[in-house]
Structure 1
Amino acid sequence: MGAYHLAIVDQNGTVGGRIALGGRPVSIGRHPENVISIRDDLASRYHCVIEPTDNGDWRVRDLGSRNGTRLNGERVSDAAVSPGDRIQVGTHTFEVNGGANHNGPEDSGATRAGGVAEAPARARKPKPKPSKKERPAPNAAGARAAWVESVAQIIRAVAPDADIKQPISLIDARGRTSAALNNSSEGAVAARLFLLAASYTRATDLHVEPKGETVQVRMRVDGQMLDVADIPNGVGELAVGLVKAVCHMKSAGRDAILEGHFSATIREQRIDYRASITPSVHGQKLVLRILNCADAPESLAHMGLANYMLDRVAKASQQDAGMVLACGPTGSGKTTTLYNVLREIDREHRNVVTIEDPVEYHLDRVTQIPANIDRGATFGSLLRSVLRQDPDVILLGEIRDEESARVAMQAAMTGHLVFSTVHAKDTIGAVFRLLDLGVENYLVANSLNLVLAQRLVRILCDHCKRPIAVTPGQATRMGKWLEGNHEIHFATGCARCLRTGYRGRRAIYEMLEFNNDLRDVVLSEPTIHAMRRVIEQGHFTTLVQAGWQLVARGVTALDEVDRVAGSA
Structure 2
Amino acid sequence: MVLTNGRPAIGGRHSATPTPDRTPTAARPAITQDARSPMPRMFLTTTDGSGREFPMGEKPITIGRSPENVLSVNDTLLSRFHCVVEPAPSRPKGDTFSVDETGTTEAATWHLRDLGSRNGTRLNGVRVTDSILRPGDVIKIGTHSFIVQAEESLAERQSAARDAAATAASGGAQARVPDPVWVIDVTEMINMLPPRNSGADDRLELIDGRGRSSGALASDSEGSRAVRLLLLAASKARATDIHLEPRGDCMQARMRVDGQMLSVVQIPNGVGDLVYGLIKTACQMRPTGREAVLDGHFSAKFPADATGSARRVDYRVSFTPSVHGQKLVIRVLDMRDSPRSLTELGLAPYMYDRVRKVCEQEAGMLLVCGPTGSGKTTTLYNALRVIDREARNVITIEDPVEYHLEGVTQIPIDDNKGNTFGSLLRSVLRQDPDVILLGEIRDEETARTAMQAAVTGHLVFSTVHAKDTMSSVFRLIDLKVEPYLVANSLELVLAQRLVRVLCDNCKRPIRVTPGQATRMGRFLEGQTELYTATGCAQCLRTGFRGRRAIYELLDFTDELRDVIIKDPTIAAMKRVIEQGLFTTLVQSGWVLAARGITTLDEVDRVATSR
- Aligned pair partner of 2:523 in 462, 477, 481: 481
Q: Provide the residue aligned with 1:40 in structure 2.
A: 73
TM-score by length of 2: 0.78
- Aligned pair partner of 1:430 in 464, 472, 483: 472
Q: Provide the residue aligned with 1:88 in structure 2.
A: 139
Looking at structure 1, the residues matched to 187 and 576 of structure 2 have their Cα atoms a distance apart, in angstroms, of 55
Offset, 1:60: 4.8
Looking at structure 2, the residues matched to 143 and 396 of structure 1 have their Cα atoms a distance apart, in angstroms, of 53
Looking at structure 2, the residues matched to 323 and 43 of structure 1 have their Cα atoms a distance apart, in angstroms, of 47
Q: Does 1:411 align with 2:461?
A: no
Structure 1 residues 209 and 13, CA, compared in 2 at 3 Å: closer, same or farther? closer
Structure 1 residues 492 and 375, CA, compared in 2 at 3 Å: closer, same or farther? same
Q: Provide the residue aligned with 1:523 in structure 2.
A: 565
Looking at structure 2, the residues matched to 456 and 84 of structure 1 have their Cα atoms a distance apart, in angstroms, of 47
What is the SS of the residue equivalent to 1:293? Answer: coil
Looking at structure 1, the residues matched to 561 and 451 of structure 2 have their Cα atoms a distance apart, in angstroms, of 15
Q: Does 1:444 align with 2:486?
A: yes
2:523 maps to a residue whose letter is W
Q: Does 1:228 align with 2:264?
A: yes
Looking at structure 2, the residues matched to 195 and 512 of structure 1 have their Cα atoms a distance apart, in angstroms, of 40
Is the CA contact (8 Å cut-off) linking 1:8 and 1:17 kept in structure 2? no
Q: Provide the residue aligned with 2:584 in structure 1.
A: 542
Q: Does 1:320 align with 2:362?
A: yes
Matches within 5 A, 1:488-503: 488-503=530-545
Unaligned runs of at least 5 residues, structure 2? 1-41, 46-51, 92-110, 150-175, 304-309
Q: Does 1:306 align with 2:341?
A: no
Looking at structure 1, the residues matched to 286 and 76 of structure 2 have their Cα atoms a distance apart, in angstroms, of 38
Looking at structure 1, the residues matched to 192 and 421 of structure 2 have their Cα atoms a distance apart, in angstroms, of 44
Offset, 1:486: 1.7
Structure 1 residues 148 and 63, CA, compared in 2 at 3 Å: closer, same or farther? farther
Offset, 1:468: 1.0
Is the CA contact (8 Å cut-off) linking 1:42 and 1:146 kept in structure 2? no
Unaligned runs of at least 5 residues, structure 1? 1-6, 21-25, 96-140
Is the CA contact (8 Å cut-off) linking 1:450 and 1:514 kept in structure 2? yes
Matches within 5 A, 1:200-219: 200-219=236-255
Structure 1 residues 199 and 243, CA, compared in 2 at 3 Å: closer, same or farther? same
Q: Provide the residue aligned with 1:111 in structure 2.
A: none
Q: Does 1:14 align with 2:55?
A: yes
Q: Does 1:369 align with 2:369?
A: no
Q: Provide the residue aligned with 2:234 in structure 1.
A: 198
Looking at structure 2, the residues matched to 31 and 562 of structure 1 have their Cα atoms a distance apart, in angstroms, of 32
Looking at structure 2, the residues matched to 515 and 264 of structure 1 have their Cα atoms a distance apart, in angstroms, of 47
TM-score by length of 1: 0.83
Is the CA contact (8 Å cut-off) linking 2:441 and 2:447 kept in structure 1? yes
Matches within 5 A, 1:214-363: 214-267=250-303, 268-363=310-405
Deviation digits for residues 291-330 of structure 1 (CA, Å, limit 9, x no counterpart): 0111210000000000000000000000000000000000
Structure 1 residues 456 and 529, CA, compared in 2 at 3 Å: closer, same or farther? same
Deviation digits for residues 211-238 of structure 1 (CA, Å, limit 9, x no counterpart): 0000000011111111111010010011
Structure 1 residues 263 and 244, CA, compared in 2 at 3 Å: closer, same or farther? same
Structure 1 residues 448 and 227, CA, compared in 2 at 3 Å: closer, same or farther? same
Q: Provide the residue aligned with 2:17 in structure 1.
A: none
Looking at structure 2, the residues matched to 70 and 395 of structure 1 have their Cα atoms a distance apart, in angstroms, of 51
Offset, 1:41: 5.8
Q: Does 1:148 align with 2:183?
A: yes
Looking at structure 2, the residues matched to 43 and 387 of structure 1 have their Cα atoms a distance apart, in angstroms, of 52
Offset, 1:450: 0.2
Q: Provide the residue aligned with 1:29 in structure 2.
A: 64
Identity over aligned pairs, percent: 59
What is the SS of the residue equivalent to 1:77? Answer: strand
Is the CA contact (8 Å cut-off) linking 1:264 and 1:271 kept in structure 2? yes
Q: Does 1:175 align with 2:211?
A: yes
Structure 1 residues 142 and 453, CA, compared in 2 at 3 Å: closer, same or farther? farther
> How many pairs align?
503
Further displaced range: 288-297 or 394-403: 288-297
Q: Provide the residue aligned with 1:469 in structure 2.
A: 511
